[in-house]
Amino acid sequence: MSATYAILPVSHAVYTHVVVAISFRNPVDDLRAIEDDLAAHGLHGIVLFDLLLAVGFAPHRFLAGEFTGTRFVVWSMDRVCALNAALMAQVNAFYRTHPHCLRAGVLSRSERIRFRRAVQQPA
């Protein structure tokens, strides 16, 4: 885990990995470091970004972009409006196992409590 993001493998037909913000800092600002991390592990494909801790529950919480194995195709970066329940469960599992990260983001105390309750519920 870096200071601003974690990279999670996911089991999904479209996305190979999820980059999760772990603080209020937007990991997209560290795109070069993310590219280096992904390349060092020989990864490629469509990568999803969960910016919950950087932007809250804003419409642009999720972004996706194509990673070639060395760099992101910048023009491929786009907002993702909806995710299926199985992928959301994989993303939310990170927050269940790393609850301390929620305190480092932009969510208010009441938003953190509601979110923690929601992700604790069995699917």
Local confidence band at 122 (pLDDT 50, 70, 90 cut-offs): low
**Of the candidates 11, 4, 1, which has an alpha carbon nearest to the alpha carbon of residue 28?**
4
pLDDT tens readout for residues 5-51? 999 999 999 999 999 999 999 999 999 999 999 999 999 999 999 99
pLDDT in tens, 49-105: 999 999 999 999 999 999 999 999 999 999 999 899 999 999 999 998 998 899 999
For tokens 């995710």, name the residue. 83
3-state secondary structure of 84: coil
Give the domain ranges of the chain. Answer: 5-120
User: From the CB of residue 112, how many other CB atoms can be counted at a distance below 10 Å?
Assistant: 16
Radius of gyration of the chain (CA): 14
Q: Which two tokens stand for residue 108?
A: 């208010």
pLDDT of residue 119: 84
Q: Are 4 and 14 in contact (CB under 8 A)?
A: no
What's the pLDDT at 108? Answer: 94
> What pTM does this model have?
0.91
